Amino acid sequence: MATTDLIDLAVETSKNAYVPYSHFPIGAVLVAKDGRLFTGVNVENASFGLTNCGERTAIFKAVSEGALEFEELIVYGQTEKPISPCGACRQVMAEFFDKDLKVTLVAKDKSTVVMTVGELLPYSFTDLK
């Protein structure tokens, strides 16, 4: 799927966000190497710390469906500048993605910044060695 279509899908996906507390919907689309698409939204909770971000929802959906090899990730948020993923999501990306995996960050006007996982989380902790 072309990047513009993936961005449109991320925007559409964000409409499913469960955000009664922040009113800040996020939509993520994770493309697996086998062609499958995994979407994710942020899912909030009255106990705020239990909130799961859109990026992690997409990654956890993919892993639980047996996908472990990925092509790219698109993340949309209603921000002025392209959305900046939180530290927890960057750490989860580092667990499952190659350092050179392409992450397209999208703002509310659909402007983008493209970064790699290595750029998002340099010198990351990835294993116990």
**Binding of ligand THU by 45 (CB under 6 A):** no
Q: Does 50 show up as a binding residue in the annotation?
A: no
Q: Is 119 annotated as a binding residue?
A: no
Q: Is the CB of 22 or the CB of 126 nearer to ligand THU?
A: 22
Active site residue 55: yes
Burial (0-12, 13-18, 19+ Cβ within 10 Å), 3: middle
Does residue 88 touch ligand THU according to CB under 6 A?
no
**39 versus 42: smaller Cβ distance to ligand THU:** 42
Closest separation in Å from C-beta 96 to ligand THU: 16
Of 54, 72, 73, 97, the one binding ligand THU (CB under 6 A) is 54
Dmax (CA) of the chain: 42
Tally of residues, the chain: 129
Q: Is 42 in the site for ligand THU (CB under 6 A)?
A: yes
Interface with ligand THU includes 10 (CB under 6 A)?
no
Task: Please select the residue that binds ligand THU; options are 6, 7, 8, 85, rule is CB under 6 A.
Answer: 85
- The rounded distance, in Å, linking the Cα atoms of 76 and 88 is 17
Position 51 contacts ligand THU (CB under 6 A) = yes
Does 53 bind ligand THU (CB under 6 A)? Our answer is yes
